[in-house]
Amino acid sequence: MEKISKPRKARMDERAEMGVGTLLIFIAMILVAAVAAGVLVQTAYQLQQQAETTGEHALMEIATGLRTLATYGVTDANLTTITDLYLKVALSAGSPVINLADVVIEISTGTVDDTLSFSNNGSAAGTYEASQLRDTYPSDIWTSTDAGITQGDIALIHVNLTANGMGLVTQQTVNLLIIPKHGIPTYVDITTPSVYSNIYEILT
């Protein structure tokens, strides 16, 4: 009978070679997992930042706006034409600060259309001016580039219709669109009364 030979035992150096290879594979797997985890964390952080920014912009667009408190016009000496238009405005509920220097007003009388920008040096063609009726923020001095309205403030917008080639006769319609830099535009639709009996005419 032939003698069955026993399996050859691995030498010590062969066992070391197998262990080093397994260790290298294990380390490589850890490195790949770490890189993948880093990429996932960075992507999640970027998505979070983008979501927060988008949410802030969405809230700004929804909440920002002005509301009209009163509108009246000033007639000429003969009580035939309204030559100046005034609007009392304040921030809408929940609106952040609005800088009037960034607000434009689209005005249309049906025959004349114009876009007006803010000016604190008087009302000339293509501009409107505004003044503070109530200011809740101390030492808030308006400039040509900074005319901020905060919650609780009331501003008086003045449009010189004559300077802009306009004038409102009786029973005439004028449309205004007050457009802030961000937020919801304010639409104002005015129809003048059938008779001008006062220098100051309340308009609705």
- Residue at 129 is within a domain: yes
Q: Are residues 128 and 170 in the same domain?
A: yes
* pLDDT tens-digit map of 43-85: 887 877 777 766 666 666 677 899 999 999 999 999 999 999 9
Residues with Cβ within 8 Å of residue 195, at least 6 apart in sequence: 170
- Residue at 3 is within a domain: no
Inform me whether the pLDDT recorded for 110 exceeds 70: yes
Q: Kindly state the average pLDDT of the residues 73-102.
A: 93
CATH code, domain with 175: 2.60.40
Length of the chain: 204
pTM: 0.73
* Helix ranges restricted to H, the chain: 12-63
Domain count, the chain: 2
Q: Are residues 172 and 117 in the same domain?
A: yes
CA distance to 44, 90, 98, 132, 163, per residue, from 93 (Å): 34, 9, 13, 19, 33
Report which of 104, 103, 89, 60 is spatially closest to residue 151, judged by C-alpha positions: 89
* pLDDT tens-digit map of 152-184: 999 999 999 999 889 999 999 999 999 999 888
Q: Are residues 56 and 87 in the same domain?
A: no
Question: By residue range, what is the domain housing residue 16?
Answer: 12-63
Q: Please, what is the Cα angle at 146 between 113 and 60, to 5 degrees?
A: 75
**Helices H / strands E in the chain, number of each:** 1, 11
Q: Are residues 114 and 194 in the same domain?
A: yes
